[in-house]
Amino acid sequence: MTFQVDLSQTSHLLKKIIEGQASEKELEWLDQKEEKLRNNFQVSSFYIAFSSASRFVRKDPLILSEEQLTEADRIRNGFQPQYFNLLQCVRISLLLMLPHKDKEEYEATIQRLHETADMDEQVTLYCALPLLPYPEEMSARAAEGIRTNITDVFDAIALNNPYPADYLDQQAWNQMILKAVFMQRPLYKIYRAEDRANPELAGMLIDFAHERWAANRKVLPELWRFVGPFLNESYFADIKKVINGNNALEKDAGLLACENSEFPAAKQLLDQYPKIKNDIESGKLNWTVIGKRFEEELQK
């Protein structure tokens, strides 16, 4: 699957966002750098601008209009710039100026950026993945990135980013989900999560749940989202354990997994809880609700 992203449209949108958020001094700095790159592009000048941006541009969160959000998704399905900060937006705008006609040279430049980037720069590079040329060739880079133990870097790839669902192979995708569960990241922020559910992942997560239980530790409630579609006789005892426990959030997650299942016994079990079943059918209870409730519990 390859998404043809119009770089000029993306650059135009980012520039409009930046103009609406940046100070006059920040815009002046960016305009100077862009003009220099347009008039006489030098890789060394690009590296300096990309790296030094943090000295001239704030990390303030962005406030986007509905029109801008709609335009972002039109340019690239799943593109969610509302999760960028101003500095990231500026750096991605600079990234889109990189010459890319020579594929090998372009990939070498991106490689050098990753090799020299600090943590904030790494985060930006991974956030930008769905917008850059040659996205299929970046899959190995993304797969390597999800091995990190740095939460911010992992989140840049895994959360609010359409790249993994579109380009990671099944092994890398499964490892990303498993690590997100292990790190207790908000799975509801993973783009098209349910579309990539698969039996192998379900088995891996069941094994992980058993390990957690053996150590008398809790299991992330959102885990069952990826097990529900593959419930069978073997997994059903685990779902009953969750539903019969004394944790209301885990119980809701287990019953929601039953709703997502075609396994007859799971449907019969859900029927025993008509109120929760009604909440599911009305949309009052879904995986986003489960994820947000879990985040609230962590903050208590």
pLDDT of residue 232: 96
Alpha carbon distance, N-terminus to C-terminus of the chain: 42
Mean pLDDT (whole number) for 235-239: 96
**Residue 160 binned pLDDT confidence (cut-offs 50, 70, 90):** very high
Phi, psi of 117 (to 5 degrees): -70, 140
Using one digit for the tens of pLDDT, what is the confidence trace for 122-155? 999 999 999 999 999 999 999 999 999 999 999 9
Mean pLDDT (whole number) for 220-234: 97
For the chain, give the percent of residues with pLDDT over 70.
99
pLDDT of residue 215: 97
Phi, psi of 61 (to 5 degrees): -65, 155
Mean pLDDT (whole number) for 226-249: 96
User: Looking at the predicted structure, is the pLDDT value of residue 175 above 60?
Assistant: yes
pLDDT of residue 2: 60
pLDDT of residue 300: 77
Q: Where would I find the H helices in 85-224? A: 86-95, 103-116, 119-127, 139-145, 151-158, 163-167, 170-182, 199-214
> What is d(CA 205, CA 178) in angstroms, rounded to the nearest whole number?
7
User: CB of 147 within 8 A of CB of 180?
Assistant: no
Using one digit for the tens of pLDDT, what is the confidence trace for 7-55? 999 999 999 999 999 999 999 999 999 999 999 999 999 999 999 999 9
Mean pLDDT of the chain: 96
pLDDT of residue 3: 66
User: Looking at the predicted structure, is the pLDDT value of residue 236 above 60?
Assistant: yes
> What is d(CA 261, CA 158) in angstroms, rounded to the nearest whole number?
25
Q: Report the candidate in 243, 201, 191, 192 with the shortest Cα–Cα distance to residue 221.
A: 243
Mean pLDDT (whole number) for 189-202: 96
pLDDT of residue 1: 57
pTM, 2 dp: 0.94
Using one digit for the tens of pLDDT, what is the confidence trace for 58-115? 999 999 999 999 999 999 999 999 999 999 999 999 999 999 999 999 999 999 999 9
User: CB of 152 within 8 A of CB of 119?
Assistant: yes
- For the record, the structure tokens of 45 come out as 């000048």
CA atoms within 13 A on the CB side of 159: 21
